[in-house]
Amino acid sequence: MKHGAFLVNVARGGVVVEDDLAAALESGHLAGAALDVFAKEPLEVDSRLREVPNLVLTPHLGASTSEAQELVATEIAEGVRAALAEGDLSKALNAPAISGASMRALSPLFSLGEALGHLACALAPGAVEEIQVRYAGDADEALEPLTAYVLVGLLRNVLGSDQVNFVSARHLAAQRDIDVARTRLSAHVDYTEYVELVVTAERGELRLAGALLGDSHPRIVRIADYHVDVVPEGTLIVLKNDDVPGVIGRVGTLLGEHGINIAGYHQARLSKGGEALAAVAVDGAVGAEVRQALLGLAEVSRAVVVRLG
């Protein structure tokens, strides 16, 4: 076919060599394609076609009679309405399938996942190569959409909010050669809903964790090796500092001099007199000059500012 052409096959499976079609789309020779028939039906979960961005896939519908066509059209319309009006994605082809009721019930968990993704992007030691999303909780359908929200947070600061969303995040991660794994935790944890990220980057590994207190109160409970208790919202300043007297006061004074109000200050350490981590939640934005001023304090060795949502 000519360069830049579009291909549509709604006749029968096997007419198109699917691997060749995928290659032509990935190379840019074809501008796009649409299929509702496949060599093997239903289309296999690991089919290469599912990863091609400029390809529209719909199920093969045997709606030959007018009555069948009407019923199929009604079902499609009901599915679109459920997604738009109720957030019900149980019939979506290109997004994690989850009911509208579950989407609403698990919204605090998904918001927590996105915040952890933002934090992972800011604190990862170099470019992210792999991310593992580990979940412990009662919602069997939570893991796949939770992973999507983690990726939204991870990628949105890099690519921009207009490009990254719940549907596109997994594909965009693959484009950046980020391996994504998701796992249900079988080991007992101290929370009813718990999510842990293990991030492998070019210069090391980062672990983060969050949990729900009750049904709807998210908290970040681990940053690297430090146990914390941070509400995942607004702007967070993460500091590495010496565990010596007066540091909290000096940080607070510096922020006050720049007109920045502290909403919460959590200090954690692994051993007395060693290195400590501070997670400082503040109101409003924190500019580069404030970060440099924090690094100018003799006791502070690292300062990272991250917007959690």
Q: How far apart are CA 204 and CA 125, in angstroms?
A: 6
Q: How far apart are CA 43 and CA 52, in angstroms?
A: 14
Residues with active-site annotation: 12, 41, 60
Token code pair at residue 125: 């030691």
Helices and strands (H and E) in the chain: how many: 8, 13
Based on C-alpha coordinates, what's the Rg of the chain?
24
How many other β-carbons are positioned within 10 Å of the β-carbon of residue 101?
A: 12
Give whole-number Cα distances, 165 to 14, 122, 159, 209, in Å. Answer: 33, 19, 11, 22
State the amino acid at position 235 in one-letter form. Answer: T
Kind of pairing between the strands at 193-201 and 179-184: unpaired
- Which residue, among 223, 231, 228, 289, has the nearest Cα to 255 in the 3D structure? 289
Token code pair at residue 285: 């934005």
DSSP state of 234: S
Q: Is 288 exposed, middle or buried (CB count within 10 Å of its CB: 0-12, 13-18, 19+)?
A: exposed
State the amino acid at position 250 in one-letter form. Answer: R
